[in-house]
């Protein structure tokens, strides 16, 4: 998909990507139909040879076999492991149409020559393609034009080798019939171009008009196990937001809906500036559950480390400290996140100044203060965490506590400074056993230059016994501040007025999005970062009756 994104990135972005994906799906359907219909028309060949015009049946059947080759090649291309790019799709479509039209015309030489009624087969190819693959005329003119031009061109080439065809070109009556065929063929070209363009325009309007309640959906930017995240626009407020939608197939799943509501409640209660903000929630008339949150620019920690390599220890500590302060508020309100991992820590900027962490995805959060029972690990597989970042007590099937989130932050900090998680075995069971009993390799043994103060914080977070870890996320935040100062990090530095960096791709506060952000940003003391105003206290309740949208 990276190659596809690059090839579409210069020509229009999200809408073009949606249209391209739709085009590939339609071409898959067309190829499948063609593979069945093309040999099936062998019955027509048999009927012609038997009842209409005696000829060589084997020649017709050989042409059918030859036509299957480009059709099967198209199937391989369209159903490949990777979605083909626009250029591949364009030339596969055009080449297949050209081959089929030329083969039909060769069959015309066996039955009637330049006035053969088999020219109707060329018209069927035109109409069949237009019915399945509707696109704007600028793109359709190549394959449609090749279908039309292949007929007279093939006949002209055949006249060089077939005396009977050459004689027809010298016969005024045959030429008049041939001209009539070309007129109908030209009319079919015009109809398919105009009709296909009109269908494309209607489909584009549908793409642009997709909406969810009061939000117009612009681009899907994340997919999770139970929902999707879309960049959207609030038409009345003229504001861009990220909208998380519960998958339609979970409409009757009470457990999925309860988890979705819990995620909204947990996130909406938190007002710390390092927690993603929730603005709205609701249920559409057709039963889709959704909530709207702030739309962020940047990348998550996993994407940053994957692309740039291990972070400078002080930079990593500063980012994790911000996440720890956000978690401290959650723990104070009785909320345990239970899914701390690099993908859920999103690095953005605030007013274009400095790096700012946003804590995402409270879909697995436990609202301990409400007396909510712990979720069973067997309910949704790893329902209370991801094995690679799970604390020993959670990996062993125990209850997730605030200290479990502290362990997760320590594992993420380890990943940031070392470029790999504490335990990274191919087998999930081996990873779980390592969390339970295996001591992690100290970061300084995997990478030089890590201050011992920061390493000490990491190792204490990763202690097997929860009692030996930091007692709270707030205590961890304080320890990280002391560790950075002991490592010589300047704590009182000015905030740059502006960060010169390539414009980032807009991304949602959700897992699974891989945008782009500057490769390296100046180190800034997070205490002096511009402080976002706290979220006002919000109470969001999903309406039991479907809201009017």
132-154 pLDDT, tens digit per residue, is 887 888 888 989 999 999 999 99
Q: Phi and psi for 223 in degrees, rounded to 5?
A: -135, 130
User: How do residues 25-63 score in pLDDT, each as one tens digit?
Assistant: 888 888 898 999 999 999 999 999 999 999 899 999 999
> Using a CB cutoff of 8 Å and minimum separation of 24, what contacts does 75-80 make?
75/28, 75/31, 75/32, 75/35, 78/24, 78/27, 78/28, 78/31, 79/28
For residues 233-259, average pLDDT: 76
Tokens of 343: 């993908």
Q: Per-residue pLDDT for 473 more than 80?
A: yes
* Of the candidates 404, 383, 403, 387, the residue with the CA atom closest to the CA atom of residue 395: 387
Beta bridge partners of 182: none
**231: helix, coil or strand?**
strand
Looking at residue 111, the DSSP 8-state letter turns out to be T
363 vs 427 pLDDT, higher one: 427
Query: How far is the first Cα of the chain from the last one, in angstroms, to the nearest whole number?
Result: 34
What does the pLDDT average to over 197-226? 73
Whether 408 and 340 have beta carbons less than 8 Å apart is answered as yes
Q: For residue 208, what pLDDT band results from cuts at 50, 70 and 90?
A: low
In this prediction, residues 295-306 reach a mean pLDDT of: 90
pLDDT of 428: 87
Q: How far apart are CA 398 and CA 417, in angstroms?
A: 29
3-state helix, strand, coil in the chain (%, to 5): 55, 10, 35
Listed in sequence order, the residues at least 6 apart from 392 whose beta carbon sits closer than 8 Å to its beta carbon are 407, 435, 436, 464
Q: What percent of the chain has pLDDT over 70?
A: 76
Structure tokens, 235: 């038409």
Separation between Cα atoms, residue 59 and residue 53, nearest integer Å: 14
Give pLDDT tens digits for 76-118. Answer: 998 887 788 888 988 998 899 999 999 999 999 899 999 999 9
Determine the Cα–Cα distance for residues 418 and 448; give it in Å rounded to an integer. Answer: 9
Quickly state the pLDDT bin for 424 (edges 50, 70, 90). confident
Which range has the top average pLDDT, 78-82, 204-208, 422-426, 519-523?
422-426
pLDDT score, position 205: 66
User: Rounded to an integer, what distance in angstroms lies between the CA atom of residue 490 and that of residue 449?
Assistant: 17
261-277 exposure pattern, b = at least 16 Cβ within 10 A, e = fewer: bbbbbbbbbbebbbbbb
For the segment 445-471, what is each residue's pLDDT rounded down to a tens digit?
A: 999 999 999 999 999 999 999 999 998
Of the candidate ranges 157-166, 325-334, 378-387, the one whose mean pLDDT is the lowest = 378-387
Whole-angstrom Cα distance, residue 406 to residue 336? Answer: 10
Query: How much is the mean pLDDT over the chain?
Result: 79
Q: Taking the model in full, what pTM does it have?
A: 0.55
Statement: residue 430 has pLDDT above 60: yes
Q: At residue 315, does pLDDT exceed 80? A: yes
Query: Which of 113-127, 336-350, 503-517 is the least confident region?
Result: 503-517
Indicate if the pLDDT at residue 211 is higher than 80. no
Q: Are 241 and 234 in contact (CB under 8 A)?
A: yes
Q: What is the pLDDT of residue 131?
A: 81
Q: Which of 199, 84, 67 has the alpha carbon at shortest distance from 124?
A: 67
Q: Model confidence over 283-293: pLDDT tens digits?
A: 876 677 888 88
Query: CA 282 to CA 189: how far, in whole Å?
Result: 48
- Report whether 275 contacts 293 (CB < 8 A): no
pLDDT at 371 over 60: no
Question: Does 488 have pLDDT greater than 80?
Answer: no
Indicate if the pLDDT at residue 181 is higher than 70.
yes
Alpha helices, H only, 52-170: 57-78, 86-110, 119-132, 137-159, 163-169
Strands (E), 277-435: 278-283, 289-297, 299-300, 335-336, 345-350, 353-359, 366-367
- Which among 339, 405, 514, 526 is annotated as catalytic? 339
Question: Is 339 a residue of the active site?
Answer: yes
- In order of 60, 155, 165, 360, the CA distances from 161 in angstroms are 18, 10, 8, 72
- Give the pLDDT band (50/70/90) at residue 427: confident
For the segment 536-549, what is each residue's pLDDT rounded down to a tens digit? Answer: 444 444 444 333 33
For the CA atoms of the chain, what is the radius of gyration? 32
Decide which of 365 and 456 is more confident: 456
pLDDT score recorded for residue 286: 63
DSSP output for 162-188: -HHHHHHHT-HHHHHHHHHHHHHHHHH
Task: Give the whole-angstrom CA distance, residue 133 versus residue 195.
Answer: 11
Tell me what pLDDT residue 364 has: 64
Helix (H) or strand (E) holding 195, with range, is: helix 172-209
As beta bridge partners, residue 283 has: 289
Q: Which residue has the higher pLDDT, 271 or 527?
A: 271
**351 vs 57, 495, 526, CA distance in Å?**
75, 11, 14
């Amino acid at each position: 998909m990276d190659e596809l994104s690059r090839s579409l990135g210069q020509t229009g972005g999200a809408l073009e990507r949606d249209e391209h994906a739709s085009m590939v799906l339609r071409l898959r359907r067309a190829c499948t139909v063609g593979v069945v219909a093309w040999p099936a028309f062998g019955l027509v060949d048999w009927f012609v040879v038997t009842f209409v015009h005696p000829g060589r049946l084997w020649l017709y059947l050989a042409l059918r076999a030859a036509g299957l080759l480009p059709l099967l090649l198209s199937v391989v291309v369209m159903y490949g492991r990777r979605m083909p790019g626009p250029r591949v799709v364009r030339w596969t479509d055009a080449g297949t149409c050209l081959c089929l039209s030329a083969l039909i015309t060769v069959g015309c030489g066996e039955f009637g020559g330049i006035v053969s009624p088999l020219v109707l087969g060329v018209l069927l190819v035109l109409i069949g393609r237009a019915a399945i693959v509707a696109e704007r005329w600028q793109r359709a003119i190549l394959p449609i034009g090749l279908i039309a031009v292949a007929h007279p061109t093939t006949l002209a080439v055949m006249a060089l080798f077939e005396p009977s065809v050459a004689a027809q070109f010298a016969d005024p009556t045959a030429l008049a019939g041939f001209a009539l065929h070309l007129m109908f063929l030209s009319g079919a070209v015009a109809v398919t171009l105009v009709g296909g363009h009109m269908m494309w325009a209607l489909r584009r309007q549908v793409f642009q008009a997709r909406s969810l309640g009061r939000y117009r959906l612009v681009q899907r930017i994340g997919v999770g196990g139970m929902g999707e995240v879309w960049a959207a626009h609030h038409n009345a407020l003229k504001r861009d937001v990220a909208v998380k939608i519960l998958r339609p197939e979970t409409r009757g799943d009470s457990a999925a809906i309860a988890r979705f509501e819990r995620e909204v409640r947990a996130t909406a209660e938190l007002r710390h500036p390092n927690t993603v903000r929730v603005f709205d929630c609701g249920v559409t008339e057709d039963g889709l559950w959704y909530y709207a949150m702030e739309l962020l620019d940047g990348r998550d920690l996993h994407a940053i480390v994957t692309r740039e390599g291990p972070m400078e220890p002080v930079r990593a500590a500063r980012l994790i400290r911000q996440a720890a302060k956000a978690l401290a508020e959650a723990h104070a309100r009785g909320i345990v996140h239970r899914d701390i991992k690099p993908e859920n820590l999103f690095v953005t900027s605030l007013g274009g100044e400095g790096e700012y962490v946003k804590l995402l995805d409270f879909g697995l959060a436990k609202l301990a203060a409400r007396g909510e029972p712990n979720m069973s690990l067997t309910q949704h597989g790893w329902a209370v965490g991801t094995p690679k970042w799970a604390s020993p007590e959670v990996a062993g099937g125990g209850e997730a506590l605030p200290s479990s989130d502290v362990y997760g932050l320590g594992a993420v900090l380890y990943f940031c400074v070392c470029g790999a998680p504490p335990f990274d075995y191919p087998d999930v069971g081996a990873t779980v056993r390592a969390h339970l009993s295996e001591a992690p390799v100290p970061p300084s043994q995997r990478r030089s230059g890590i201050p011992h103060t920061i390493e000490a914080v990491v190792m204490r977070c990763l202690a097997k016994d929860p009692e030996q870890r930091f007692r709270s996320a707030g205590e961890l935040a304080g320890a990280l501040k002391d560790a950075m100062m002991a490592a010589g990090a300047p704590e009182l530095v000015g905030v740059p007025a502006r960060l010169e960096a390539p414009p980032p791709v807009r991304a949602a506060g959700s897992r699974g999005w891989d945008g782009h952000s500057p490769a390296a940003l100046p180190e800034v003391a997070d205490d002096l970062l511009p402080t976002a105003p706290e979220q006002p206290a919000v109470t969001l309740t999903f309406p039991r009756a479907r809201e009017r949208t």
